[in-house]
Structure 1
């Protein structure tokens, strides 16, 4: 019997600092999120971050928390329910960090008789700290607890025409009655070292402005290239030119170099130096709206842009449970059902 497991990032159980601390501990102790030796990661996370950050993060979560709970969880559940209505296969939803866990959902599918699972990391682009950590954990759990289960994962879908069309239409529909000078594509940032570590050729990625435009097998796992390609794909789908679009990266942590340009600095630069008055921001690294979109961009980013002289700021919602996106996802699942 076949089944499907959708996996998103996750969320604290509540906005209580204790719950936020527990969530951050699980998230940041992942060796693919902070990829340093265990002793150093433990010192950084448990010795520094978890003693200072939970209260600040809890306050941020309170700003965006819904009556139903975490926006990311609620939106993911809506997506799961709508997809389930369009396929006969059982569709489960798990979170990489927090609840419901991947192990719990795999167990529930297994108890239903599912031995062939389609694993769907809800990330358009591949990254160590997103897609890879989900796939690796799912395989580890399979070996330990479900040895007779088969798991097939959907690779990064940033380049799939049907996804790009759905994403582009959602952007176009939201901005239909709004005026804007430019669209900024803001992606979640990762340390530059993650790009080099993910380079299967061990030589192609140089982050020098040219390697992303040079064909290579490395692009299959290059987050930076896939982000820029997503921007280009949407730009082409919407009929925009390069002067109307730019790309940046948000949410950096620590002192090591992360992918640039940084979103916060870009927002200020757009207003102060480039004369952009009306800006639209999209966040295509996320399928579901979350802290990074609802607070970091829609609140903090808007404040930074307006303070720097901008006049209008439009944060385009993520694709969430958009009907066209639901059809795309259900289509991939039904194709899995027919072909495997």
Structure 2
């Protein structure tokens, strides 16, 4: 029997500092998030970050928390329910990479319903070590340890799927069609530059400059930077936007190592100082609104923009639990049922 598992990032159980600390420990101790030796990662996370950051992060979560819980969890549950309504001949479950429900719990729910073949959909449009890869790695670990007879297929990064680009473009168009704006900023979650080079399967293509992301290369299959820039390019072309009024940036950097640039906060500040008065921000690395979109962009980004002379700051919602997004996911599931869906062929770096 077949089943489906949707996997999103996750969220703390509550806005209490202790719950945020537990969540951050699981998240930041992941070797694909902070990719340094365990002893150094433990020193950085448990010796420094967890002694200072949970209180500040808890305050940030309090600003965006809904009455019925974490926005990311609530919206993901709504999405799962809608996909399940569309797919009535197989079970659809939800899991989080960090926090609850865990990937193990999600898989067990399916196995308890006699499922022996799963399509796992990481809800990340672009591939990165700290997103799609860590979801696949954890699912493989759980399968090998607890469910060795289970077969799992994985949906690859879908940033380049025409159906996804059309839907993303449609959602953006709905927000800007009657809006007067000066510029659109496509802000993606940041990753350290070393992650890009680590996942260069050619070992010599990625240079982190203005050229390599647009040169044809098989390295693009696992290159987060390329996939972000390509997403922006595809949307701009689909909507017929003025490319000179659109740009790409990266947010949420951590530590002192170089991360992908330009940085979103500095870009927003620069735009305001340069005379841009009406800025639109879209966050295509996320399919679900969360702390990074609702607080870091919609609140902190707006404050930066207005403090430096900006006047109108518009953040476009993620796809969240839109009916057409649930329908698209359901279509991919149906394609998988009939062996028409391309799934992840190589499970690389799953040590």
Q: TM-score range by the shorter chain?
A: over 0.9
Q: What CA distance in whole angstroms lies between the structure 1 residues aligned with 2:237 and 2:320?
A: 22
Q: What CA distance in whole angstroms lies between the structure 2 residues aligned with 1:18 and 1:188?
A: 25
| SS of equivalent residue, structure 2 residue 156 | coil
Q: What CA distance in whole angstroms lies between the structure 1 residues aligned with 2:50 and 2:278?
A: 38
Provide the residue aligned with 2:344 in structure 1. Answer: none
Provide the residue aligned with 1:73 in structure 2. Answer: 73
Matches within 5 A, 1:13-92: 13-88=13-88, 89-92=90-93
| SS of equivalent residue, structure 2 residue 68 | coil
Quick check: 1:68–1:74 contact (8 Å CA) kept in 2?
yes
Q: CA deviation at 1:167?
A: 0.6
Q: CA deviation at 1:176?
A: 2.5
Matches within 5 A, 1:1-340: 1-88=1-88, 89-273=90-274, 275-339=275-339
Quick check: 1:21–1:54 contact (8 Å CA) kept in 2?
yes
| SS of equivalent residue, structure 1 residue 339 | coil
| SS of equivalent residue, structure 1 residue 61 | helix
| SS of equivalent residue, structure 1 residue 301 | helix
Report the more deviating stretch, 168-177 or 213-222.
168-177
Q: CA deviation at 1:247?
A: 0.3
| SS of equivalent residue, structure 1 residue 328 | helix
TM-score, scaled to structure 1: 0.99
Q: What CA distance in whole angstroms lies between the structure 1 residues aligned with 2:49 and 2:7?
A: 26
Q: What CA distance in whole angstroms lies between the structure 1 residues aligned with 2:78 and 2:46?
A: 34
| SS of equivalent residue, structure 1 residue 42 | helix
Q: CA deviation at 1:323?
A: 1.8
Quick check: 1:80–1:92 contact (8 Å CA) kept in 2?
yes
Report the more deviating stretch, 168-177 or 280-289.
168-177
| SS of equivalent residue, structure 1 residue 240 | coil
Q: CA deviation at 1:174?
A: 1.7
State the superposition RMSD in angstroms. 0.8
Q: What CA distance in whole angstroms lies between the structure 1 residues aligned with 2:209 and 2:236?
A: 22
Quick check: 1:272–1:309 contact (8 Å CA) kept in 2?
yes
Q: CA deviation at 1:241?
A: 2.1
Q: What CA distance in whole angstroms lies between the structure 1 residues aligned with 2:328 and 2:230?
A: 20
| SS of equivalent residue, structure 1 residue 85 | helix
Q: What CA distance in whole angstroms lies between the structure 2 residues aligned with 1:161 and 1:27?
A: 32
TM-score, scaled to structure 2: 0.96
Q: Which runs of 5+ in 1 are unaligned?
A: none
Q: CA deviation at 1:177?
A: 2.6
Q: What CA distance in whole angstroms lies between the structure 2 residues aligned with 1:200 and 1:151?
A: 24
Q: CA deviation at 1:107?
A: 0.7
| SS of equivalent residue, structure 2 residue 203 | coil
Q: What CA distance in whole angstroms lies between the structure 1 residues aligned with 2:269 and 2:220?
A: 31
Q: What CA distance in whole angstroms lies between the structure 2 residues aligned with 1:193 and 1:159?
A: 23
Quick check: 1:170–1:322 contact (8 Å CA) kept in 2?
no
Q: Which runs of 5+ in 2 are unaligned?
A: 341-351
Provide Cα deviations, 1:188-232, integer angstroms capped at 9, x if missing partner. Answer: 000000000011111100111100010000000000000000000
Provide Cα deviations, 1:152-189, integer angstroms capped at 9, x if missing partner. Answer: 00000000000001111011112223221111000000
Q: What CA distance in whole angstroms lies between the structure 2 residues aligned with 1:210 and 1:96?
A: 33
Q: What CA distance in whole angstroms lies between the structure 1 residues aligned with 2:209 and 2:311?
A: 33
| SS of equivalent residue, structure 2 residue 169 | helix
Q: CA deviation at 1:244?
A: 1.5
| SS of equivalent residue, structure 1 residue 258 | coil
| SS of equivalent residue, structure 2 residue 86 | coil
